[in-house]
């Protein structure tokens, strides 16, 4: 199994009006973040996404905050501590099974290279506005940094309810791995991904099968290219043919729920085939679908992640969706003022187990706030 994020504690703007804390988020291979509106579900996913963007240099400036992150999988479990103030690194520490691999304060640090089976300490002087992953890469001598950087590069964050069938994109045509990364970064790029995998019959067959399970009678999916007025280049669109309908229906005529379902299923099936471990975060999963289709889609996504090398972190407050996901995969977020605490199977196991023995709906556990029965 590839690297997955297993725990996160985070804080930012300490001592200021907009101070914010996230405490004890415990993650496994399958995860559902639940909580009332404005509790911090999306913000939590944004924190993880922000970390990966800083590790890969996808942001022009480092984002202030204090990260304490645990990882498992890969070659060994690791812990990563990162403190950023005013866009500069104040502290950066990486340990593996308790042994320090990287220790840094500002623009001076120590890093351990692997040479002939032994660890050698080296002093280095990185620019304080960049993380170590951006300035030190060596697959042979720094394999642990390479594993962490690869995890960050493969991380995907999809805002499920934000994409619309009429929102079209024009994607440049890089080659090789870069193209795969670009095409899977945003669900709006899915027409271009589908066009790229037109000959991958297994992915297309699996996608049609998944759509049928959700409740759509789609028989064919293909891509057409059209030049719209005012557009600098042709735009790719998906069109589908349904059972009993003799003509193709264009993407712009899809319902929001259908378009989002097609997009997330295509990218999920593609990433499963691509393999090599990926963490996928999906905000507001199932948004725009009726309760039956939302439930079916959720079960499909969790089942696919369970059978593959994918870590899934989904977020929702939909009651029907909650009932479709095992409580052991839950993180219930509860906010009191500026502090968001997570209740999960790891830190509240007796409470979770006791409720599961009752045989009630999962939503009752959430609605009745039984998850914090022994914490007040």
How many structural domains is the chain composed of?
A: 1
Predicted confidence (pLDDT) at residue 173 exceeds the cutoff of 60: no
Residue burial 251-289, b: 16+ Cβ < 10 Å; e: rest: beebeebbbbbbbbbbbbbbbbebeebbbbbbbbbbbbb
The answer to whether the beta carbons of residues 63 and 47 sit under 8 Å apart is no
Q: Which CATH number is 306's domain given?
A: 3.40.50.300
Digit-coded pLDDT (tens) for 182-200: 788 889 999 999 988 877 7
Q: Cα–Cα distances in Å, from 216 out to 163, 241, 242, 289, 293?
A: 19, 11, 8, 12, 9
Digit-coded pLDDT (tens) for 254-281: 999 999 999 999 999 999 988 767 999 9
Digit-coded pLDDT (tens) for 143-157: 999 999 999 999 999
Predicted confidence (pLDDT) at residue 376 exceeds the cutoff of 70: no
The answer to whether the beta carbons of residues 206 and 268 sit under 8 Å apart is no
Digit-coded pLDDT (tens) for 44-92: 999 999 999 999 999 999 999 999 999 999 888 999 999 999 999 999 9
Report the alpha-carbon distance of residue 307 to residue 304 in Å, rounded: 5
Give the residue-averaged pLDDT of 115-143.
93
Query: Which domain covers residue 83, as residue numbers?
Result: 4-372
Report the alpha-carbon distance of residue 67 to residue 94 in Å, rounded: 12
- pTM for this prediction: 0.94
Q: What is the pLDDT of residue 179?
A: 59
Q: What is the pLDDT of residue 358?
A: 92
Give the residue-averaged pLDDT of 9-24.
95
Report the alpha-carbon distance of residue 104 to residue 108 in Å, rounded: 6
Q: What is the pLDDT of residue 153?
A: 93
Predicted confidence (pLDDT) at residue 177 exceeds the cutoff of 50: no
Rounded to the nearest integer, the mean pLDDT of the chain is 92
| Relative orientation angle of helices 256-274 and 291-307, to the nearest 10 degrees | 10
């Amino acid at each position: 199994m590839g690297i997955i994020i297993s725990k996160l504690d985070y804080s930012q703007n300490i001592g200021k009006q907009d101070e914010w804390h996230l405490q004890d988020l415990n993650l496994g291979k399958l995860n559902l973040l639940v909580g009332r509106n404005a509790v911090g579900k999306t913000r939590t996913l944004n924190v993880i996404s922000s970390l990966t963007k800083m590790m890969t240099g996808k942001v022009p400036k480092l984002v202030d905050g204090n990260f304490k992150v645990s990882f498992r999988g890969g070659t060994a479990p690791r812990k990563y501590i990162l403190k950023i103030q005013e866009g500069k690194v104040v502290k950066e520490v990486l340990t593996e099974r308790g042994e320090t691999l990287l220790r840094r304060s500002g623009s001076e640090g120590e890093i351990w290279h692997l040479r002939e089976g032994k660890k050698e300490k080296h002093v280095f002087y990185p620019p304080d506005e960049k993380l170590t992953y951006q300035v030190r890469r060596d697959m042979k001598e720094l394999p642990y940094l390479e594993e962490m950087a690869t995890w960050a590069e493969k991380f995907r964050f999809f805002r499920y309810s934000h994409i619309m069938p009429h929102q079209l994109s024009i994607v440049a045509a890089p080659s090789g791995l870069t193209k795969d990364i670009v095409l899977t970064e945003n669900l709006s790029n899915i027409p271009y991904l589908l066009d790229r995998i037109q000959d991958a019959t297994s992915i297309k067959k699996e996608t049609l099968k998944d759509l049928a399970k959700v409740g759509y009678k789609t028989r064919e999916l293909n891509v057409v290219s059209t030049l719209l007025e005012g557009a600098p280049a042709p735009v790719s669109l998906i069109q589908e043919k349904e059972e009993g309908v003799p003509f193709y229906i264009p993407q712009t005529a899809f319902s929001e729920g259908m378009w989002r379902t097609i997009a997330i299923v295509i990218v999920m099936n593609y990433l499963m085939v691509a393999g090599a471990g990926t963490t996928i975060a999906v905000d507001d999963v199932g948004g725009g679908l009726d309760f039956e289709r939302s439930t079916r889609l959720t079960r499909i996504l969790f089942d696919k992640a369970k059978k593959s090398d994918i870590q899934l972190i989904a977020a929702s407050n939909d009651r029907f969706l909650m009932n479709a996901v095992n409580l052991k995969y839950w993180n219930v977020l509860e906010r009191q003022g500026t502090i968001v605490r997570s209740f999960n199977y790891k830190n509240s196991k007796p409470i979770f187990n006791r409720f599961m023995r009752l045989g009630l709906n999962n939503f009752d556990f959430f609605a009745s706030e039984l998850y914090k029965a022994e914490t007040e």
